[in-house]
């Protein structure tokens, strides 16, 4: 059973008109993408504008797919980078939640 804390299927289906087939296709596109490596690369070279763009995009796509915990983690990383705070724990949390979300998606 999918944990709605990670994947809120009901909310997502309401957003996309009730088509589970469409939702599965969108989730497959999401999981087929590479979301963490580009973020790590941008952080490693100090390209913080790119980090902000990537985290903002991840936050948005996650919210649109009702991957709420992941969207919140991306928002937190975005906030810490914008605030020029130590982002290491927010990044670790994002990685962990991304992995957990991917595992939950695989159950659908």
Q: Per residue in 37-83, pLDDT tens? A: 999 999 999 999 999 999 999 999 999 999 999 999 999 999 999 99
Tokens 């590479």 belong to: 34
pLDDT of residue 95: 96
9-105, what's its fold? 1.20.120
85-107 per-position pLDDT tens digit: 999 999 999 999 999 999 999 99
11-46 per-position pLDDT tens digit: 999 999 999 999 999 999 999 988 999 999 999 999
Domain boundaries, the chain: 9-105
pLDDT of residue 23: 98
Q: How far apart are CA 46 and CA 43, in angstroms?
A: 5
């Amino acid at each position: 059973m999918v944990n709605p804390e990670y994947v809120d299927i009901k909310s997502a289906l309401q957003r996309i008109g009730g088509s589970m087939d469409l939702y599965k296709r969108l989730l497959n596109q999401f999981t087929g993408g590479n979301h963490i490596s580009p973020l790590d690369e941008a952080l490693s070279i100090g390209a913080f504008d790119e980090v902000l763009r990537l985290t903002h995009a991840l936050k948005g796509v996650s919210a649109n797919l009702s991957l709420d915990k992941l969207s919140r983690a991306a928002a937190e990383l975005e906030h810490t980078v914008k605030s020029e705070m130590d982002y290491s724990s927010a990044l670790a949390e994002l990685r962990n939640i991304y992995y957990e979300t991917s595992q939950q998606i695989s159950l659908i």
